Amino acid sequence: MGLITAVRKDRQTKTAAKEAVRQRTLKKAVSLTGIGLHSGAEVTLTLNPAPADHGIHFHRTDVTAGASDKAAVAARWDRVADTRLCSALANDHGVTIGTVEHLMAALAGCGIDNLRIELDGPEVPVMDGSAQQFVDVIRAAGVVELSAARRVIRVLKPVAVESEQGRAELAPAAVFSVDFEIEFQSRAIRRQHLRLGVVNGAFCKELANARTFGFMHEVEAMQKAGLARGGSLDNAIVIDGDKVLNDGGLRHVDEFVRHKALDAVGDLYLAGSQIIGAYRAERAGHAINNALLRKLFADPDAWCYDVLRGDESKTAMDGGIKAEAAVV
């Protein structure tokens, strides 16, 4: 992926900035409307261009009390307040933004560094259960480069977390890649493994349209508990025993592990910048992904801010990473 000049923390020279890949935002604002997966309420989301070094911030337009900054929530790992059914953010004033992972994955995959995201409800709309419609509106709006250099987070040494649910790790690498394995008793899923260098548009080509999934008995239980009110066959793959209930079946034979990789891309983009490193996981979810970021940032010797030089469209092959998939 071109040359990477290591710059400890925020030390960046003018020369490096001139040669570096530049930050990006949208050319114009764009909106879309959909249903919240857990709330079941209609939500309108607007993606607005933002200046260099602004980062990605959410703003709840339905929160009117007090100053406008009280309705703002930064898209950062240290603002993740709940990981039980999604990645949900919260600010110090109790304002929350739920189900951010699919949108964050689309922003990561499209290389968007700065954005003001407005929404009139507590949850990002689920759309079709994938990141594809977010990618589509980003492409429709267009992307513009800014004058400032893109800052990336380079992994300097391996870090890992593990629980009864699964495990995940980040290790030094020349490019960002995901290596994910899942296993379920259902014959509709079984064991699936995906290894992918997430560069050269690979996210949009290989992961963006992979939908979230769940089992019928779990969906029914959540809906009885007042959760997943917006869940349906229109926005999720639903499995009953060994059978996929959706008309048309799957978009990929390994769509389940592709979606788990999509979730990981979105969760890891809450680092605040693109990560340069290898992510490996087994049965990991939102909680493990956030715990991994917290462990990374807790160790100042495990990471640094870098300036990314060269052509960012270099393929994963340049880093020795091929796209691999297996279903057993």
pTM: 0.89
**Is 54 annotated as catalytic?**
no
Residue 226 has a pLDDT of: 72
Determine if residue 142 is left, alpha or beta; phi over 0 gives left, psi from -120 to 50 gives alpha, anything else beta. left
Q: Which residues contact 93 (CB under 8 A, 6 or more apart)?
A: 66, 70, 71
- To the question of domain 4-327 being in CATH 3.10.50.30, the answer is no
Q: Which residues contact 208 (CB under 8 A, 6 or more apart)?
A: 105, 106, 109, 130, 131, 132, 135, 262
Q: What is the DSSP letter of 270?
A: G
Q: What is the DSSP letter of 21?
A: P
Chain CA centroid to CA 158, Å: 21
Q: Which residues contact 164 (CB under 8 A, 6 or more apart)?
A: none
The alpha carbon torsion through 265, 270, 274, 276 (nearest 10 deg) reads -70
The Cβ of residue 305 has, within 10 Å, a number of other Cβ atoms equal to: 17
Phi (first) and psi of residue 297, to 5 degrees:
-75, -15
State the Cα–Cα distance between residues 237 and 59, nearest whole angstrom: 30
The total number of residues shown for the chain amounts to 328
The Cβ of residue 8 has, within 10 Å, a number of other Cβ atoms equal to: 10
Q: Alpha-carbon Rg of the chain, whole angstroms?
A: 19
State the Cα–Cα distance between residues 163 and 172, nearest whole angstrom: 22
| Helix ranges, 129-234 (H) | 132-141, 202, 216-224
Q: Which two tokens stand for residue 293?
A: 């970021």
**Which residue has 């639903």 as its token pair?**
238
Query: What is the three-class DSSP state of 269?
Result: helix
State the Cα–Cα distance between residues 241 and 245, nearest whole angstrom: 10
State the Cα–Cα distance between residues 210 and 325, nearest whole angstrom: 14
Residue 40 has a pLDDT of: 85
Residue 325 has a pLDDT of: 53
Annotated catalytic residue, options 59, 252, 259, 286: 286
Q: Which two tokens stand for residue 108?
A: 């990561």
Q: Considering Cα of 209, then 34, then 25, then 102, what sign does the dihedral take? A: negative
Sorted by where each begins, the domain ranges of the chain are: 4-327
Q: Considering Cα of 110, then 237, then 328, then 281, what sign does the dihedral take? A: positive
**DSSP β-ladder status, 96-97 and 115-119:** unpaired
Residue 311 has a pLDDT of: 52
Each residue's pLDDT expressed in tens, for the chain with a length of 328 residues: 333 333 444 444 444 444 789 999 999 999 999 999 888 889 999 999 999 999 999 999 998 655 567 899 999 999 999 998 899 999 999 999 999 999 999 999 999 999 999 999 999 999 999 999 999 999 999 999 999 999 999 999 999 999 998 999 999 999 999 999 999 999 999 999 999 999 889 999 999 999 999 999 888 777 777 777 788 899 999 999 999 999 999 999 999 999 999 999 999 999 999 999 999 999 999 999 999 999 999 999 999 999 887 654 343 333 333 445 555 4
| Helix ranges, the chain (H) | 14-19, 101-110, 132-141, 202, 216-224, 255-268, 286-298
* Whether 326 contacts 193, CB under 8 Å: yes
